[in-house]
Amino acid sequence: MPIVTAAMLVIGDEILSGRIREKNAGHLAAVMTAIGIDLKEVRIVGDDENAIIEAVNALRVRYTYVFTSGGIGPTHDDITAPSIARAFGLPWDYDARAMEILGSHYKQRGIEFTEARKRMARMPEGAFHIDNPISRAPGFLIGNVHVMAGVPAIFQAMLDNVVPTLRTGRTLLSRTVHCPVGEGTIGEALSGIQDDYADVAIGSYPKYDAGKFWTEIVLRSSDESRLDAAEETVRAMVNELAG
Amino acid sequence: MPIVTAAMLVIGDEILSGRIREKNAGHLAAVMTAIGIDLKEVRIVGDDENAIIEAVNALRVRYTYVFTSGGIGPTHDDITAPSIARAFGLPWDYDARAMEILGSHYKQRGIEFTEARKRMARMPEGAFHIDNPISRAPGFLIGNVHVMAGVPAIFQAMLDNVVPTLRTGRTLLSRTVHCPVGEGTIGEALSGIQDDYADVAIGSYPKYDAGKFWTEIVLRSSDESRLDAAEETVRAMVNELAG
């Protein structure tokens, strides 16, 4: 099965200024891993049309899917939709169905459907909606680029709607081995095991708990028997060096 | 005054797989904002030589400073130092002074200075050290690229050493608050205070002395009155939760 890859583009001055902590990349990463898509790159850029265009064009030709977060709200600095349209060389417009969804949403609540709020209906021509069950304003899919909200609860809800539509790769299996000593003690041996198992990704994560250093070793592969063999080898090494 | 810009490159499969949440970009963003440097872009790539080379070369020609985090530990997947050397077209070697620092560090502790640990002394030819007061293995500066550790406490300590060397418009002031309990007790409250003081970078450093855990909380800002207010809030929180 071919490997399916993804990249994420986070858009927002508030992230780069440190005013807001970025929270969507970690969620997307975990979801992609769980469904066997290989997240290869994340970029964070500001609310700047040229920066958005350059990044989305660099990423969309290189990876199977691109996911963006941020910049699709009602304020003047929310410029993601027209910027994505320009990246594709497409015109954008106020999407008729999005106008309907938002219009009826605000009418029900007795809130004025202002020009600012209408900005949330902007989409490149030919875009497909990504449903937003929380605040209604939809995200959209154009080409292989999923344009989603920056607010974590909305980003996550949109992603839940997108996942079933994705062509996922092999299912990535993983195994975790607890190692009671630090990386320095096992690094060399682990490196040797990695050389023997090129088809198993071996990561080691330094941990510090209750005054003691230890290491979590994670093995990932789509091939269960290779994963079994690599896991057994790592466990034997840990027992020998740290047992 | 000319605009000084920066970019960050986060390196590590463990971030892209969702196994570890990225924590250094937000801290760097807050510190850059406080000292008047414009953080323009963040990229996250995996432990992949070509991806590191391409990203660092794209960023270093475009921005005044580049900061990297991750991939300078002792294991086989720590390939940042040689990759950065290749990006600059420079040879790398085991830095003599780094070898001395690490050798004496491990000797004092009766720990073997293994081949794996020696990997942490690798640097491009002509690099300058960035001191690591925590686990000793230095980061380095080559050209305009600051290569630093991924472990947040070490990243923050290295950044403290780098900040005074940067060409900036503003002076970063700092305050230290001693907290007699570990991070777990105060983490949530501290996070709330950070949300209220976006213009003050708040770092916490876990400490362990004579069988007791404690935390050093460091606040940084270029605005003295905001720093005063944030310090007072942190001291009140510490007295309440740990007094």
pLDDT single digits (tens) A105-147: 999 999 999 998 999 999 999 999 999 988 899 999 999 999 9
pLDDT score recorded for residue A62 = 97
Query: Does the pLDDT at position B94 exceed 70?
Result: yes
Q: What is the pLDDT of residues A185-236, one digit of tens each?
A: 898 899 889 878 877 777 777 777 777 888 888 887 778 898 999 999 999 9
pLDDT score recorded for residue A86 = 98
Mean per-residue pLDDT, B114-136: 95
Among B42, B63, B72, B199, most A C-beta atoms within 10 A, so best to mutate, is B42
pLDDT score recorded for residue B169 = 64
Query: Does the pLDDT at position B97 exceed 90?
Result: yes
pLDDT score recorded for residue B127 = 97
pLDDT band at B39 (very low <50, low <70, confident <90, very high): very high
The highest-confidence range among A51-65, B31-45, B192-206, by mean pLDDT, is: A51-65
CATH class of B173-242: alpha beta
Q: Which of A29, A40, A205 sits opposite B18 (nearest CB)?
A: A29
Residues 6+ apart with CB under 8 A from A222: A36, A169, A170, A171, A172, A173
**Pairwise CB contact (< 8 Å): A22 & B22:** yes
Mean per-residue pLDDT, A151-171: 84
pLDDT score recorded for residue A123 = 97
**Pairwise CB contact (< 8 Å): A184 & B42:** no
φ and ψ of B238, to 5 deg: -60, -45
User: Which residues of chain B are within 8 Å of residue A29 when distances are taken between CB atoms?
Assistant: 15-18
pLDDT score recorded for residue B139 = 98
pLDDT band at B2 (very low <50, low <70, confident <90, very high): low
The residue in chain A having the minimum alpha-carbon distance to the alpha carbon of residue B212 is A211
pLDDT band at B12 (very low <50, low <70, confident <90, very high): very high
Check whether domain A5-165 has CATH 3.40.980.10, yes or no = yes
In whole angstroms, what is the distance from residue A53 CA to residue A189 CA? 45
**Domain map (residue ranges) of chain A:** 5-165, 173-242
Mean per-residue pLDDT, B70-92: 96
Query: Does the pLDDT at position A1 exceed 60?
Result: no
pLDDT score recorded for residue A76 = 84
- Between the alpha carbon of residue A163 and those of residues A33, A159, B88, the distances in Å are 12, 6, 40
Instruction: Point out the least confidently predicted range of A72-76, A126-130, A228-232, B4-8.
Output: A72-76
Higher pLDDT, B101 or A242: B101
Q: Which of A43, A203, A211 sits opposite B13 (nearest CB)?
A: A203
- Between the alpha carbon of residue A138 and those of residues A79, A102, A121, B215, the distances in Å are 15, 9, 8, 44
With a pLDDT cut of 70, the percent of chain B lying above it is: 99
The answer to whether B37 touches B6, Cβ cutoff 8 Å, is yes
User: Which residues of chain A are within 8 Å of residue B19 when distances are taken between CB atoms?
Assistant: 33, 203, 205, 218
pLDDT score recorded for residue A169 = 62
pLDDT score recorded for residue A3 = 84
Among B5, B15, B16, most A C-beta atoms within 10 A, so best to mutate, is B16
Mean pLDDT of chain B: 92
